[in-house]
């Protein structure tokens, strides 16, 4: 990967050349414009947009959130260049092209969805858009050109579908946090990911009810590939179905490497030979999980959020992890409703980010049941937090 300073200087030189040429209406071969650029003086003004023959020549507004009118069919070269106040852009389905350096140096742009109507992304189109963390390449695009996403320093993942057959080696120069490419197995994007040592994730796997873009997608793929959780059927995960105590104990047991145990009849509702028998025996013998006062384990009882963090807390201590971190429950509306047995565990889980307030609000819902998707998410956060 090229040195940041070299790439940034190249970006600056390119934009300076193209902007100078627009003023004098001179064409520059190096910029390789795929459309004619019109001098701003002859453009029609539509609100904050200067538009000529369907080409958005220049954005003249100062708003952070922009909705491009559907009279636009092409976003011209450098149309939004250096619009540092820009945070969000809505592009209509009428747009087929995003020009060279169109969003160059829009440093605060964090939200943009590229419609599938787009067939061309120009060079440096999103160069130095530091706010972008992920992007999906439209279905109509076949080539990702030189420096299209150069120096997007916070870009972490990109979705590239099979329509893309060529990606320039410099397309993602300077994207130091890019680690993951989503696509379809056996297509060129997978080859590109492997050649550049990015993690490749097949967006068609593993389950038909888990789609890319779902809030739980990454977590389900993670626990599936780690062989911690399987589907309820070979093709479905059932993300909303609650986890029961037997299932959660089994996932913990798998996380521990499924150590060999000798079955012990500790609970009348845990017979020998069931998928959870060894897991519950192991968890009980190591003080990670206990049963109910009536002597049963409660295999089919749905597990609550505070029970989940309690079991993970005990497991973390069992394997010798640092669990000293604490966050105050007073910061949460229902913090006082956390059961006494779960207090330390909940304070720890909140402090390290394993569990978070529901819907990004100050609500823990400690006695609420946890669905399979939520369980997968908590396991992923736990393993990533402790680099397991």
Lowest mean pLDDT among 130-134, 355-359, 367-371: 355-359
Residues 198 and 246 both lie in one domain:
no
E-only strand ranges, 176-219? 180-183, 199-202
Q: CB-hemisphere CA count at 13 Å for 67?
A: 2
Residue 207 belongs to some domain of the structure: no
Q: What pLDDT does residue 208 have?
A: 86
Determine what percent of the chain is predicted with pLDDT higher than 70: 88
Indicate whether 209 belongs to any domain: no
Residue 179 lies in a domain: yes
More confidently predicted of 10 and 25: 10
pLDDT confidence band for 43 (50 / 70 / 90): low
Residue that is last in its domain, among 173, 202, 231: 202
Please say if the pLDDT value at position 41 is more than 60. no
Residue 188: domain span: 4-202
Q: What's the whole-number mean pLDDT along residues 340-355? A: 94
Q: Which two three-digit tokens encode residue 260?
A: 């060999």
User: Is residue 139 in some structural domain?
Assistant: yes
Integer Cα distance of 271 and 104 in angstroms = 64
Lowest mean pLDDT among 23-27, 153-157, 172-176: 23-27
Cβ(140)–Cβ(118) under 8 Å?
yes
Q: Provide mean pLDDT across the span 318-334.
A: 94
Q: If you average pLDDT over residues 351-362, what whole number do you get?
A: 80
Answer yes or no: do 157 and 266 share one domain.
no
How far CA 11 is from CA of 6, 30, 42, 229, 343, in Å, comes to 9, 12, 27, 46, 53
Local confidence band at 180 (pLDDT 50, 70, 90 cut-offs): very high
Is residue 129 in some structural domain?
A: yes
- Spatial distance between the Cα atoms of 353 and 366, rounded to a whole number of angstroms: 15
pLDDT beyond 80 at 71: yes
Q: Quick one: pLDDT at residue 213?
A: 77
Q: Report pLDDT digits (tens) over 50-59.
A: 999 999 999 9
Q: What is the pLDDT of residue 44?
A: 78
Residue 359's pLDDT is 62
The reply to whether 103 falls in a domain is yes
pLDDT at 2 exceeding the cut of 70 = no
pLDDT of 194 higher than 50: yes
Q: Which residues pair with 44 in a beta bridge?
A: 51
Q: Are residues 51 and 147 in the same domain?
A: yes
Who wins on pLDDT, 361 or 137?
Answer: 137
> pLDDT-based confidence at 225, cuts 50/70/90?
confident
135 contacts 161 by C-beta, under 8 angstroms: no
Q: Which tokens go with 74?
A: 């092409």
Same domain, 25 and 130: yes
Residues 249 and 147 in one domain: no
Q: How confident is the model at residue 188 (pLDDT cuts 50, 70, 90)?
A: very high
In a domain, 354, yes or no: yes
Looking at the structure, tell me whether residues 57 and 125 fall in a common domain: yes
Q: Residue 24 above 90 pLDDT?
A: no
**End of a domain among 202, 230, 248?**
202
Same domain, 285 and 185: no
Position 354 scores a pLDDT of 92
Instruction: Say whether pLDDT at 22 is over 80.
Output: no
- The residue ranges of DSSP E strands in the chain, in sequence order, are 44-46, 49-52, 55-59, 65-67, 74-75, 88-90, 97-98, 111-113, 120-121, 134-136, 143-144, 157-159, 166-167, 180-183, 199-202
Asked whether residue 208 is domain-assigned, the answer is: no
Average pLDDT, integer, range 146-165: 94
Pairing of strands 111-113, 44-46: unpaired
Are residue 184 and residue 227 in the same domain, yes or no?
no
CATH number at residue 183: 3.80.10.10
Q: Are residues 240 and 292 in the same domain?
A: yes
Same domain flag for 53 and 192:
yes
Quote the mean pLDDT of the chain: 87
pLDDT at 79 over 80: yes
The predicted structure's pLDDT at residue 360: 61
pLDDT band of residue 45 (cuts 50, 70, 90) is: confident
- Backbone φ and ψ for 280, nearest 5 degrees, come out as -70, -35
- Note the pLDDT tens digit of each residue in 90-110: 898 899 999 999 999 999 999
Q: How many domains does the chain have?
A: 2
Distance separating alpha carbons of residues 384 and 388, to the nearest angstrom: 6
What percent of the chain has a predicted confidence (pLDDT) above 90? 71
8 pLDDT higher than 60: no
Average pLDDT over residues 342-364: 87
CA distance 188 to 75: 28
User: What pLDDT is recorded for position 9?
Assistant: 52
């Amino acid at each position: 990967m090229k040195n940041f300073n070299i790439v940034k200087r190249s970006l600056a030189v390119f934009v300076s050349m193209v902007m100078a040429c627009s003023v004098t209406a001179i064409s520059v071969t190096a910029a390789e414009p795929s459309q004619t650029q019109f001098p701003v003086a002859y453009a029609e003004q539509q609100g904050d947009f200067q538009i000529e023959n369907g080409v958005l020549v220049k954005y003249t507004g100062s708003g952070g959130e922009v909705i491009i009118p559907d009279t636009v069919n092409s976003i011209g070269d450098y149309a939004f260049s250096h619009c540092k106040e820009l945070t969000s852009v809505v592009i209509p389905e009428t747009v087929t092209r995003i020009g060279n350096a169109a969003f160059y140096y829009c440093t605060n742009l964090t939200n943009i969805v590229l419609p599938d109507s787009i067939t061309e992304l120009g060079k440096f189109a999103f160069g130095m858009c530091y706010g972008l963390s992920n992007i999906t390449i439209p279905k109509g695009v076949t080539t990702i050109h030189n420096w299209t996403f150069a120096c997007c320093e916070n870009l972490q993942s990109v979705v590239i579908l099979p329509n893309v057959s060529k990606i320039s080696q410099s397309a993602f120069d300077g994207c130091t946090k890019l680690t993951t490419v989503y696509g379809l197995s056996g297509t060129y994007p997978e080859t590109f990911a492997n050649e550049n040592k990015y993690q490749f994730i097949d967006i068609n796997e593993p389950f038909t009810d888990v789609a890319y873009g779902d809030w739980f997608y990454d977590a389900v793929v993670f626990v599936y590939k780690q062989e911690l959780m399987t589907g309820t059927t070979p093709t479905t995960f059932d993300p909303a179905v609650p986890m029961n105590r037997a299932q959660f104990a089994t996932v913990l047991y798998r996380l521990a490497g499924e150590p060999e145990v000798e079955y012990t009849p500790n609970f009348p509702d845990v017979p020998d030979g069931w998928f959870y028998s060894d897991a519950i025996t192991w968890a009980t013998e190591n003080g990670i999980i206990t049963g109910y006062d009536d002597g049963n384990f409660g295999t089919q009882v749905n597990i609550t959020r505070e029970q989940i963090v309690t079991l993970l807390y005990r497991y973390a201590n069992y394997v010798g992890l640092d669990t000293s971190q604490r966050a105050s429950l007073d910061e949460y509306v229902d913090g006082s409703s956390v059961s006494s047995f779960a207090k330390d565990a909940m304070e720890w889980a909140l402090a390290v980010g394993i569990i978070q307030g529901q819907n990004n609000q100050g609500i823990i819902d400690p006695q609420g049941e946890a669905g399979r998707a939520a369980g997968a998410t908590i396991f992923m956060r736990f393993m990533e937090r402790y680099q397991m």
